[in-house]
Amino acid sequence: MSRAVLSLGSNLGDRLACLRIAIEAVRPALVAVSSVYETKPWGVEDQPDFLNAVCVVEDPARDHWAWLRVAQSAEQSADRVRELRWGPRTLDVDIVTVDGVSSADPELLLPHPGTPDRASVLIPWLEIDPDAELPGHGRISDLLARLSPADREGVVRRPDLTLI
């Protein structure tokens, strides 16, 4: 059984439609999907706000590399072009964790190293799995509590937007 946590983000074009492309790509394997959140950009701050969400997926036939291929194919379907690191994009699908797999391969770092610092991942993930742990880092509720109030307040639920 392979269970993965995926983080979805978009800040270009029809952002909600782009997140839905990612959801459609994993729909048969979907276990849970968070609400959609409007989030202040981190990394490169001078860019439009993102929509972010997190989903949990499960498929006995897929290993972590297969989840990466699914993620990259969804990004391509959303016409993603890579221009700037941490810059604007139609769709970003990150593999946050897969079971307890740890990987130092730069093509697939697991758990995703940015996770402990990103309220835009931790808040949606906590919504759908309040007891979740990030392997090697502990409970995600504790990770979130360590972030600054400004980081947490930059992530606002958008109940008017739905993914499924």
Ligand X SMILES: Nc1nc2c(c(=O)[nH]1)N=C(CO)CN2
Name the minimum Å distance from CB 64 to ligand ATP: 8
Residues interacting with ligand X, by CB under 6 A? 9, 39-43, 50, 52, 86, 92, 120
Beta bridge mates, 39:
50, 155
When binding is defined by CB under 6 A, the residue of 29, 54, 110, 121 that contacts ligand ATP is 110
70: tokens are 């699914």
Which residue lies nearer to ligand ATP by CB, 18 or 110? Answer: 110
Of 85 and 160, CB closest to ligand ATP:
85
Least distance to ligand X, CB of residue 61, Å: 28
**What CA–CA distance (Å, rounded) separates 15 from 161?**
10
Query: Least Å distance between CB 148 and ligand X?
Result: 14
Query: Applying CB under 6 A, does 12 fall inside the site for ligand ATP?
Result: no
Query: In this structure, is the dihedral angle defined by the CA atoms of residues 127, 101, 115 and 21, taken in order, positive or negative?
Result: negative
Instruction: Based on the shown chain and the rule CB under 6 A, indicate whether residue 45 belongs to the binding site for ligand ATP.
Output: no
Between 19 and 70, whose beta carbon lies closer to ligand X?
19
Give me the least distance between CB of 110 and ligand ATP, in Å please. 6
Q: Would you count residue 92 as binding ligand ATP (CB under 6 A)?
A: yes
